[in-house]
Amino acid sequence: MYKRYTLFNSTHRQFPLKLLFLLVCFLTGFSTIYSQQPFWREHPIHEEFSKAKINLIHEHPNGMIWFGTNQGLFYFDGLKYVNVPFRDSIPSVQNITALGTDPQGRIWAGMEDGNIYIQNGFDPLKIWKPEEGLPKSMITGIKFTSDSTLWFSTYGEGLYCYQQGRMYNFGTEDGLRGMDLYTMEKGQDNTVWVGTDLGINICSFKNETKFIKTLDSSKGLKDEIVRDIKLDHQGNAWIASFEMGVFFYEKEKDTIYQKIPNTGFGEITKLELFKNLELWIGTVNKGIWRTRIDTAVVYPINNNEDLIKANISDLKKDAEGNIWVLNGSNITYSANRQFEWVESSIENVQAVVEDQNGVVWIGTPEGLFFMEKDDKGRSFFKKYWKRKNFNITSLFEDSNGKIWIGTYGDGLYCLTADRRKSHHLTPKNSGLKDGNIFSIAEQNGSIWLASLRGMIEIRNPEFIGFEQLKQTWYSTENGLPTDYIYKVFIDSRGVVWLGTDGKGLVRILNGQIKTYQEINGFNLKTIYSITEDLHGNIWFCSSDNGIFKFDGNDFEQLALPEGIRNLTITSLITDIKGNILVVHSAGIDILDPKLKHLTYYDQEIGVEDIEPNLNAVCRGNNFDIWIGTQQGLINYKAEQEDLEIHPRTLIKSVSVFLQEKDVKEGHSFEPDENYISFDVIGLWYTDPNTVEYRYMLEGYDLNWKKSRDNFINYPHLPPGNYTFKIQSTENGAFDKEPMTTFEFSIQKPFWQQLWFLIVCILIIGGLFYWYQHTRDRRIHRESMMVKEKIESQFETLKSQINPHFLFNSFNTLMTVIDENPEQAMQYVQALSDFYRSIVQYREKDIIPMEEEIEIVKNYGYLLEQRYGENLYLKIDIPKATGYLVPLSLQMLVENAVKHNVISKSKPLSIFIYLDEDKHIVVSNPLQLKLTPEPSTQYGLESIGKRYEYLTSKKMLLEKSETHFIVRLPIIDGDEN
């Protein structure tokens, strides 16, 4: 039992320290000033711009935070600032005094000199050039209303609006109360509100008509110098006046009244409104002040030296619930406003309760304290019983307003609703079953006490102190699995739930006890805390297994994979919006019970390494939750507007070979642009260092890849269609995080594209056809050639062994034999040579001209012998090169001899010579026989045809009155 006791409250080991602290408290007095202060983080702009002065904050709808400075435009992703350059020349005035985002997501920057620049995506700033020109006075605001109208307010030229490509001016002549506009806010119904030195003008522009409504002293605005305006969702306005504090315009009554008098904050520069919760006030040289909307008590932020006496140039909240503050330096300040430490010297808060009057009571080992307000509206903690020091472990206010105080070993105290009387119940004086009370709850007029000796139900709490205590006792004796109970929780249906030490969850319904110890294969062991969401589900934390949800039938576990980061959870409590706060030593997490998403809060909001006390939490009457820790009290205020709980993932740029490229989603990259990189950012300003990425290139990657690097490379991508998917998480659980995608494709190289294939096939087909065609033609020609050759051989042979030729030859021979046997020998030699040549060359397509000439000479010799001087064959070929069709010259000479008269009176001269055009010419005078020799006309035709097959040049025939000339083309040696 002793062992269990130390396990439960290990903090008691520091008891001597606490004693010392007690002594200190005693000496310094017991009351302590209370005010809540946010935990500030500072983000200086990098060295290069260390002299920059940041003027204003602008949150882009995509979540990125932009800053206007005297050195141009910057954006900040939580880790670093990036300066946006000017596209053309750097202007002399770079002081940005207004920022706005148009419906297309472009940033518009108004400058001190009246110029306006536009910035698209993450491109450089480009000047805007409307036909009407730009103002020459400082731009103080840029807004876009949903009627496609751009508004910009100036300090000196009144208000401008730009609608349908035309610019219009609202000046004093139109009813504006002044030309110097301090601020502009977007109102309902396409209106803008501008603050002047003489009140507010509500302006709109429709059908080329200016509508101006004025709010000034006649409506109750006693200080008409309006420095800032914040409109709420109902159309009411918070108005920052020059020196009379903050006024409130109530739309319903159309009147203005002073809401927050100037209690020392002086001149206001900016306001920021947290819906139904708080108004923050930025001042000139007096830092930031804040007020709760329900109390209107205003007090300064005093926990950051840089902000205490600062001139606050801008003040804005972001979508995650952070507030951003500028003090005109190169540093921006941010804080998460949801969690704040209550500044007081009280430590080791073991129990806390906010009563129906809004008074916060805290119990520590030193006793009971309550929050009291002084006459200035400030709050401080006061010890309730001056001398009593007792160890308070639980506090509870019942429906009658009584406060029940459970102690460790000293029984139960009860404060009456008027807080004047107290009653003390102990086992000794009232028979209370146990004096160690860890948790108190109420059900139908019964008070339930969780003790070390089981559950005690006090059935007559209204009569405490007057009558005998009526109690029902639940213990191991009548069905409880253990007597050590840490938490009693009564749900909205009146069911009693108990968290036990080591024995799981217990339900008591109509006196019936049911224990849940083994569920889904887990041993629930110790249950420290229990809560209920807005849908009636029970949520509890088990010592080693994380958080469980019980819907009455099934249990669902959330453990490390689901984002639970610490298994020693001390408290669970549901806030007004239904989110569950998970309190543990590593920080505080907000669990969205529907999405089961956990948002972590720790060092960045100043709640890391807290030592929370078991179930030292309570819900206030309003938005507050109070969390007691060893280090003191934490106040949580549930933001009224929905906050971003996921990092917003942006693809800042796409690069090809590490060069940024301006591409839209769906871009088709060239085949050689296959090295694609993505510069991404998961915006989580609450704690930027926790952001991790998970990405996948669909079409390439098979699995998700995790990384902390926000530059993702894909070298050597093959052609194809891809979708780049990226998620970022701040809590390590990716499953519920939204996904950002970028679709693109890489084209196939041209040789893989269809058109190229078709062209290739056509070309190959064409070539093949051409080859086939020419081959066919060649084959045809060759076969014709062979045919011709055979015919020609036949013809030649026929003509040469023509009996007439032989008879003539033999006659000639006979005459010669007698006269000149020598010559006869020569003749026979020539004749046989001639026949040999015919036999030798008839197979060939071409023969060298030289050899052909030899044949003709031989033939000529034979003819000369026969015709004597009557035939004259003159061969005038100085140099015989090239080729001829075999026996072509011989055949021509033969023809000449055959068809012409050869006689003494009419001798025949045959000339063979070359002309200028590479022809060999056979020419003879025309002296036709009267009775023509029978002729097949084959000889000439055959020569002509053979030339046709062999060369493009043609045999030429010239037949005149006097001459017959045949020109045979000389075939070049390489031609065939």
Partner 1 sequence: MFKQGIFFLLLFFQISLLAQQNNMLEVKSGSAAFKSDAPLEMIEASSDELKGLLDPSNGNFAFSINTKSFVGFNNPTQQEHFYENYLETTDYPTASYSGKIIEDFDLSKDGIFEIRAKGKLKIHGISKERIIKCKLKVEKGKVEFESLFTVRLEDHQITIPKIVNQKIAEEIIVVIKGEMAPKKS
Full 3-state SS string of 235-289: CCEEEEECCCCEEEEECCCCEEEEEECCCCCCCEEEEEEECCCEEEEEECCCCEE
In whole angstroms, the minimum distance from the beta carbon of 173 to partner 1 comes to: 7
In whole angstroms, the minimum distance from the beta carbon of 138 to partner 1 comes to: 13
Of 300, 313, 334, nearest to 43 by C-alpha is 334
Range 131-170, binding partner 1 (CB under 8 A): 131-133, 135-137, 157, 166-169
Q: In this structure, what token pair is assigned to residue 21?
A: 């602290």
Task: Tell me whether residue 113 or residue 948 sits nearer to partner 1 (CB atom).
Answer: 113
* % helix, strand, coil for the chain, step of 5: 20, 40, 40
Cβ neighbourhood burial of 743 (10 Å; 0-12, 13-18, 19+): middle
In whole angstroms, the minimum distance from the beta carbon of 120 to partner 1 comes to: 25
The site map against partner 1 for 173-192 (x = CB under 8 A) is: x-------------------
The site map against partner 1 for 483-512 (x = CB under 8 A) is: ------------------------------
CA distance between the termini of the chain: 119
CB atoms within 10 A of CB 212: 17
Task: Tell me whether residue 171 or residue 328 sits nearer to partner 1 (CB atom).
Answer: 171
Task: Tell me whether residue 208 or residue 974 sits nearer to partner 1 (CB atom).
Answer: 208
β-strands 192-196, 740-746: how paired? unpaired
Task: Decide: is 171 part of the binding site for partner 1 (CB under 8 A).
Answer: yes
Full 3-state SS string of 714-775: ECCCCCEEEEEEEEEECCCCCCCCCCEEEEEEECCCHHHCHHHHHHHHHHHHHHHHHHHHHH
The 8-class DSSP code of residue 45 comes to: P
**Residue 675's Cα: distance from chain center in Å?**
17
Task: Tell me whether residue 208 or residue 869 sits nearer to partner 1 (CB atom).
Answer: 208
In whole angstroms, the minimum distance from the beta carbon of 118 to partner 1 comes to: 19
Q: Which residues contact 241 (CB under 8 A, 6 or more apart)?
A: 221, 222, 223, 224, 225, 226, 227, 247, 268
Task: Tell me whether residue 162 or residue 484 sits nearer to partner 1 (CB atom).
Answer: 162
Task: Tell me whether residue 175 or residue 671 sits nearer to partner 1 (CB atom).
Answer: 175
In whole angstroms, the minimum distance from the beta carbon of 132 to partner 1 comes to: 4
The site map against partner 1 for 440-479 (x = CB under 8 A) is: ----------------------------------------
Question: d(Cα 277, Cα 690) in Å, to the nearest integer?
Answer: 29
Helices marked H in 842-909 — which ranges?
849-867, 888-899
- In 3-state terms, what secondary structure has residue 213? strand
Question: d(Cα 654, Cα 332) in Å, to the nearest integer?
Answer: 29
Range 875-914, binding partner 1 (CB under 8 A): none
The site map against partner 1 for 775-804 (x = CB under 8 A) is: ------------------------------
Task: Tell me whether residue 203 or residue 415 sits nearer to partner 1 (CB atom).
Answer: 203
Task: Tell me whether residue 171 or residue 732 sits nearer to partner 1 (CB atom).
Answer: 171
Task: Tell me whether residue 131 or residue 822 sits nearer to partner 1 (CB atom).
Answer: 131
Q: Which residues contact 704 (CB under 8 A, 6 or more apart)?
A: 694, 695, 696, 734
Of 354, 448, 334, nearest to 403 by C-alpha is 354
In whole angstroms, the minimum distance from the beta carbon of 178 to partner 1 comes to: 15
In whole angstroms, the minimum distance from the beta carbon of 244 to partner 1 comes to: 32
Question: d(Cα 897, Cα 873) in Å, to the nearest integer?
Answer: 10
Q: Which residues contact 148 (CB under 8 A, 6 or more apart)?
A: 103, 163, 164
In whole angstroms, the minimum distance from the beta carbon of 115 to partner 1 comes to: 12
Sign of CA dihedral 831, 832, 834, 838: positive
In whole angstroms, the minimum distance from the beta carbon of 149 to partner 1 comes to: 15
In whole angstroms, the minimum distance from the beta carbon of 206 to partner 1 comes to: 14
In whole angstroms, the minimum distance from the beta carbon of 326 to partner 1 comes to: 30
In whole angstroms, the minimum distance from the beta carbon of 113 to partner 1 comes to: 12
Q: CB of 702 within 8 A of CB of 729?
A: no
In whole angstroms, the minimum distance from the beta carbon of 134 to partner 1 comes to: 9
| Side-chain-facing half-sphere of 172: CA atoms under 13 Å | 12
Task: Tell me whether residue 154 or residue 888 sits nearer to partner 1 (CB atom).
Answer: 154
| Binds partner 1 by CB under 8 A, chosen from 3, 90, 208, 709 | 208
Q: CB of 291 within 8 A of CB of 278?
A: yes
Range 387-446, binding partner 1 (CB under 8 A): none
Range 94-133, binding partner 1 (CB under 8 A): 131-133
Question: d(Cα 514, Cα 508) in Å, to the nearest integer?
Answer: 6
In Å, what is the CA distance from 412 to each residue of 394, 427, 451?
A: 9, 9, 11
- Give me the amino acid identity at 244: M
Task: Tell me whether residue 179 or residue 403 sits nearer to partner 1 (CB atom).
Answer: 179
In whole angstroms, the minimum distance from the beta carbon of 114 to partner 1 comes to: 9
Task: Tell me whether residue 131 or residue 642 sits nearer to partner 1 (CB atom).
Answer: 131
In whole angstroms, the minimum distance from the beta carbon of 42 to partner 1 comes to: 41
Of 716, 723, 721, 720, nearest to 672 by C-alpha is 716
Q: CB of 487 within 8 A of CB of 439?
A: yes
Task: Tell me whether residue 103 or residue 130 sits nearer to partner 1 (CB atom).
Answer: 130
Task: Tell me whether residue 172 or residue 234 sits nearer to partner 1 (CB atom).
Answer: 172
Task: Tell me whether residue 166 or residue 963 sits nearer to partner 1 (CB atom).
Answer: 166
Q: CB of 73 within 8 A of CB of 83?
A: yes
Full 3-state SS string of 418-429: CCCCEEEECHHH
Task: Tell me whether residue 88 or residue 132 sits nearer to partner 1 (CB atom).
Answer: 132
In whole angstroms, the minimum distance from the beta carbon of 145 to partner 1 comes to: 19
Task: Tell me whether residue 164 or residue 952 sits nearer to partner 1 (CB atom).
Answer: 164
Question: d(Cα 181, Cα 158) in Å, to the nearest integer?
Answer: 6
Q: In this structure, what token pair is assigned to residue 888?
A: 């072509």
Which residues face 532 on adjacent strands? 538
Number of residues that bind partner 1 (CB under 8 A): 14
Q: Which residue has the tokens 């404060």?
A: 415
Task: Tell me whether residue 167 or residue 956 sits nearer to partner 1 (CB atom).
Answer: 167
In whole angstroms, the minimum distance from the beta carbon of 166 to partner 1 comes to: 7
In whole angstroms, the minimum distance from the beta carbon of 177 to partner 1 comes to: 18
Kindly list the residues in this chain that would bind partner 1 in the complex (CB under 8 A).
Answer: 131-133, 135-137, 157, 166-169, 171, 173, 208
